[in-house]
Amino acid sequence: MDSVSIRLLAASDFDQAAGLVGLAWQRNEAAIVAACEAIVGAIERGGKLIACGNGGSAADAQHFVAELVGKYLLTRRALPALALTTNTSLLTAIGNDLSFEDTFARQLDALARRGDVVVCISTSGSSPNVVLAARRAHELGATVVALTGARGQRLIDAADVAIVVPSDSTPRIQELHGLVIHAICHAVESALAG
């Protein structure tokens, strides 16, 4: 492949992502604000954020938690957050002994409490283990925030707050999820830093 072809492909990715940024904000402004308010409220009342997802969304869940427990922009107290994607022994035990579909819901049974916020991330919105986690979080009295794409109706239906990237492209959805996570971390950290 020559440099002109490479340049055209790369430019196409940048153009697609740039075109989605404004549209995603326009369609999700209220949901992003609601997610921030839910997270701040949960932490102020002694609750925590719990995040889950598969593949790239698992990385997003861990990134989200790292920004809250560590820091985003401000040096401040650690905020209570955990990702359900990090314990490989537990994930493989649940997957092997129960089912892969139970990998997150089973952990929520042990860790989630009424008043927590559970962030369920799925570009497709149809990952069985993520949808089941959202449903289980409701049963346990947690608020569910979903990050998904345009076809994510199953997860949207299971959420209290749904942030939906208006795209069917997995790479574009993941890129915008990263922006959403940073925007939420910025607002949550600023609200709780004092």
Mean pLDDT by 10 residues, the chain (194 residues): 86 89 96 98 98 98 98 96 97 96 98 98 97 98 98 97 97 97 97 88
For the record, the structure tokens of 162 come out as 């749904």
- pLDDT value of residue 4: 83
Classify residue 181 by burial, with Cβ atoms within 10 Å: 0-12, 13-18, 19+. Answer: buried
DSSP secondary structure code for residue 112 in this structure: -
The pLDDT value recorded for residue 1 is 82
User: So what's the pLDDT on residue 150?
Assistant: 97
Q: Which pTM was predicted?
A: 0.96
Q: Which two tokens stand for residue 149?
A: 């794409």
Q: Is 26 exposed, middle or buried (0-12, 13-18, 19+ CB in 10 A)?
A: exposed
Q: What's the burial of 36, exposed, middle or buried (CB within 10 Å: 0-12/13-18/19+)?
A: buried
Candidates 3.40.50.10490, 3.90.1310.10, 1.10.760.10, 3.40.640.10; correct CATH number of 3-192?
A: 3.40.50.10490
CA-wise closest residue to 163 among 25, 6, 39, 14: 25
Looking at residue 17, its pLDDT comes to 87
Supply the pLDDT for residue 118. 98
Instruction: Note the pLDDT of residue 10.
Output: 87
